[in-house]
Amino acid sequence: MSNTPRQRLPGDHPPDEEIARMLRVDHAGEYGATRIYEGQLDVLGRGRAAGAIRQMAETEKRHLDRFETLLRERRVRPTLLHPLWTATGYALGAATALMGERAAMACTVAVEEVIDEHYQRQAEQLGEEDPALRETILSFRADEIAHRDLAIAQGAEESLGYDLISAAVKTGSRLAIWLSTRL
Ligand SMILES: [Fe+2]
Ligand SMILES: [Fe+2]
């Protein structure tokens, strides 16, 4: 606990509620990520990129497990949109995979870039508030950056329609974050 709480403005959420919202959206994001990779693996499970995708899927599962534990420990409910992310995450992964391995990797780059920014912003918001959570977020952020780099190494940027995929997936991911924070 900090001795000098930072000043809060009228309308600011109390720290506990703010942190609950952070956990809720992070849990949703990691869940969505596991669904994206499941969708990709169902299409590309025997392809050249399968090893890389499986490796990323395993990290996302670990991230998800951590946030599941945190939600349980702190009695935070998951987002009401959880069932929606089951379908849309999977559909996003499968659809981009059907466009080819590079398109799937372009999807990964876009998602991971949005999550990188999102975790960075959360870490800044937390400041000194919850050092353990901040450390978790920063360590996961490093994993997401590694995923982005892996996807680039797998040829993401050579994908046909890279800019279009990137813009669409980023918009969708930001919308999902916005919604999961509020619902
Ligand atoms: Fe993750
Ligand atoms: Fe990731």
Is the pTM above the cut of 0.75?
yes
Quote the pLDDT of residue 10: 63
User: In this structure, what token pair is assigned to residue 117?
Assistant: 């920014």
Tell me if 108 sits within 8 A of 152, measured CB to CB. no
For tokens 């990691």, the residue is 30
Quote the pLDDT of residue 78: 95
Q: Residue-wise pLDDT tens for the chain (183 aa)?
A: 445 555 666 666 657 889 999 999 999 999 999 999 999 999 998 989 899 999 999 999 999 999 999 999 999 999 999 999 999 999 999 999 999 999 999 999 999 999 999 999 999 999 888 999 999 999 999 999 999 999 999 999 999 999 999 999 999 999 999 999 999
Using the mean position of ligand 1's atoms as its centre, give its distance from the Cα of residue 140 in Å: 6
Quote the pLDDT of residue 128: 87
Q: Which of 175, 176, 173, 118 is nearest to 144 (CA)?
A: 118
Identify which ligand lies nearest to the alpha carbon of 109.
2
Query: What DSSP string runs through 98-151?
Result: HT-HHHHHHHHHHHHHHHHHHHHHHHHHHTTS-HHHHHHHHHHHHHHHHHHHHH
Using the mean position of ligand 2's atoms as its centre, give its distance from the Cα of residue 58 in Å: 9
Quote the pLDDT of residue 1: 47
Quote the pLDDT of residue 6: 57
Can you tell me the distance from the alpha carbon of 52 to that of 95, in angstroms, rounded to the nearest whole number? 18
Using the mean position of ligand 1's atoms as its centre, give its distance from the Cα of residue 143 in Å: 7
Using the mean position of ligand 2's atoms as its centre, give its distance from the Cα of residue 130 in Å: 23
User: In this structure, what token pair is assigned to residue 113?
Assistant: 């870039």
Using the mean position of ligand 1's atoms as its centre, give its distance from the Cα of residue 129 in Å: 22
Return the DSSP state at 45. Answer: T
Q: How far apart are the first and last CA of the chain?
A: 28
Identify which ligand lies nearest to the alpha carbon of 144.
2
Tell me if 41 sits within 8 A of 58, measured CB to CB. no
Using the mean position of ligand 2's atoms as its centre, give its distance from the Cα of residue 14 in Å: 29
Using the mean position of ligand 2's atoms as its centre, give its distance from the Cα of residue 142 in Å: 9
Identify which ligand lies nearest to the alpha carbon of 111.
2
Quote the pLDDT of residue 7: 63
Quote the pLDDT of residue 156: 95
